[in-house]
Structure 1
Amino acid sequence: MSETTTVVLHGFTGSASAMVPLTSRLPQPVLAVDLPGHGSGPISDDPADYTMAAAVAAVVTAVTDRERFALVGYSMGGRVALHLAVAHPDRVAALAVIGARGGIDDPVERARRIAADEALAAQIETRGIEWFTDHWGDLPLFASQRHRLPAAQRAALRAQRLACDPGGLARSLRGMGAGAVDPIGGRLGELSMPCTLIAGADDTKFAAIARAMAAVIPRADVYLVPDAGHAAHLEAPDATATAVAAVTQAGFAPRVPLA
C-alpha cells in the first residue's frame, strides 16, 4: 500500500462510530474497529472470545490486507494497541495511545482491580444497562466531560452507552479489564516504532502513567492535551488529532510543556 492506514480502537463502552470525533480529523485512510463485546459485531457468550489474545487476533484479522499500519487506541483500546504492538511489532509502523496502559504490573493492585471489575460486571448483569450507564458517567474519571462537552454531545454519549449489550460489557470487563490482562510493563522496552503517549493534562493518573511508559519505550514521546481529561479525543479533538497524526504520518510527536 502506498499510504499507511491508521487503525483506531475505542474504549470500554465505545465503538468504532464513537471515535468519529478523532477519526474524522485524521488523514485518510482510517479504519476504526469494533472490539469484542462492543459496537455492531456479534455478542458472543464464550468467555474465550473476550481475552486480550482474542482481541488482538480480531484486530489483526480486520487489517489482514494491510502489511503495516499505524495503530491508535483510547483507554481499553489503548491497552489492546499496546499488547498488539508487543505481539506483532513488525505490523505496527507507529503507535499512539490515549489515556491507556498495558496492564497492572503490581500484583496487589492487580488483584484489587480484578475484584472490582468482577463486582462491576456482576452489577451490570443484575442491575442492567441503565443503572450502569448512570454509574459509569458519574465516575470521577469523566467529571471534566460534564462541563466541557455540550449537552447534545453528552446526551449522544449516554445514548451510545445505553445501546451497549450488558452481557458483552460484563464479559469484556472480566476478560480484558486492566487487571485481567497479563501485564506487559517488562516488555515495553521491546517497542521500536515511534510512539506517542497521550493523556489529558487534567487526567493526572494517566499523565503519570504516560511518563512512566515513556521512560522505558525507546522512541516514545509524551503529549499532554491542554484543557482535557481522560477522554481527550472528545474534550479536545483538534489537539488530540494533531498529536496522533504527527506520529502516525511523520513518526514524531509534537512537543508541549509537561507541567
Structure 2
Amino acid sequence: MGMHIPQHRENVIRQIEVNGVQMGLLQYNQAEDMAVDQPTVVFVHGFTGCATSWEPLLKHLATQGMHIIALEMLGHGHSSVPDDPQRYTMEHCQADILAALHTLAVPAGKAILVGYSMGGRIALYTALSGYFRAVILESASPGLASAEEREQRRRSDEALAACIEDYGIDAFVDYWERRPIFASQERLPLKARATLRQQRLRNNTRGLANSLRGVGTGAQPAIHDRLAEITVPVLLLTGEDDQKFCAVARDMAEHFPQSQHRIIPGAGHTIHFEQPEVFENIVRKFCHTVQ
C-alpha cells in the first residue's frame, strides 16, 4: 500500500492562547491527518519577521506531506505585544513554544525545530528542553560569550529600541535594510525586495522595541557551555557571504554530539530568502533523514 499523503489545506494565520498571551501561527496539514512516518516541522522567524516570512517554503513542504507549523513570537505578526519587555525573554519564548505544541497535539520527540537568526537563537535555547527530534539553525548563535560583550550589546539594543519608538517603523526599516549583514539581498529582484520590505513595514513599533529589549542578543543567556546537552541531530546552515555566522556555526558544530554544517553559495544571512530552492531541498532531505 502506498504512503498516505494528506491533501494540502490552504490555511490562514490564526491565534491560540499560550501562557496568558495570544500566539499567531500558520499551519499546513493537521497533525491528526498525518501518516505516522511524516515529519512535523516547526518554524520560528527572525527579528521583524512573521509566519509568512517562510512562504512559499511552507506550502512546498506541505505538498510533500509534512505537517508544517510556523509560529509568531511576541511583538511580531499576530502575536500579543506585552508592555513588559521581560515577557519577551528567551525563557518565556521556550515556554510559549512548548505550550503551543502541546495545544496543537504535537508530542515530545516528534517535531523538527527550524529557526532563522533571532528565531535560530530561540530555537537553539528551546532545543535544550529535549522536546525535539532534530534542530535546523539558519544563521544562528549561542549568544555572546562574555558579560562585557553582552552588556555592550544590551546597550546597543536598547538604543535601537528607543530609536524605533522615537522615529517609527518606516525610519527603522530604512536603517535595517542598509545594515551590511543584508547587503547580499541587493542581488535579488526588486519585486522580491519590495515584498520583504512591505512585510517589515507591517510590524508594530512597541513590539519590535520590546522584542529587542527582551530577547535581543544582549539579553540572550550565553549557552556555549550547554551545547553538548543537545544530543539530537543538528543542521547548521550559513550563507557563504555571511562570514561572521559561518565562523559561529563552525565553532558550534564542534560542541554538538551530532551536527553538520552546510555553507550555501550565493547567499548571505537570509538563506531561505536568497536561495529558496536550495534551502528547501536541504531542509526536506534532512527532515526525512532524521525521521
SS in 2 for 1:30: strand
Counterpart of 1:29 in structure 2 is: 67
Q: Which one-letter code corresponds to 2:240 in the other structure?
A: A
Is contact 1:78–1:102 with CA below 8 Å preserved after alignment? Answer: no
Q: 1:198 touches 1:224 (CA, 8 Å); kept in 2?
A: yes
- Residue 7 of structure 1 contacts residue 33 of structure 1 at CA under 8 Å; is this kept in 2? yes
Deviation at 1:18, TM superposition (A): 0.9
SS of the residue 2:133 aligns to: strand
Q: Tell me which residue corresponds to 1:74.
A: 116
Structure 2 counterparts to residues 52-63 of structure 1, below 5 A:
52-63=90-101
Report the Cα offset of residue 248 of structure 1.
2.1
Is residue 110 of structure 1 aligned with residue 145 of structure 2? no
- Counterpart CA distance in 2 for 1:182 and 1:32 is 24
Calculate the TM-score normalised by the size of structure 1: 0.93
Equivalent residues in 2 for 1:187-206 (5 A)? 187-206=226-245
Matched residue type, 1:84: T
CA RMSD, aligned part only?
1.4
Larger Rg: 2
Q: Which ranges in structure 1 are unaligned for 5 or more consecutive residues?
A: 253-259
Aligned pairs for 1:114-193 (under 5 A) are 114-147=154-187, 149-193=188-232
Secondary structure of the 1:169 match is helix
Deviation per CA, 1:130-189: give whole Å up to 9, x if none.
Answer: 100000001000001011x21111111111111100100000001101120111110001
Amino acid at match of 1:8: F
**Aligned position for 1:255:** none
Tell me the matched-pair count: 249
Q: Aligned letter for 2:144?
A: I
Q: What is the identity percentage for the equivalent residue pairs of Structure 1 and Structure 2?
A: 41
Unaligned runs of 5+ in 2: 1-30
- SS of the equivalent of 1:12 reads coil
Contact 1:21 1:234 in 2 (8 A): no
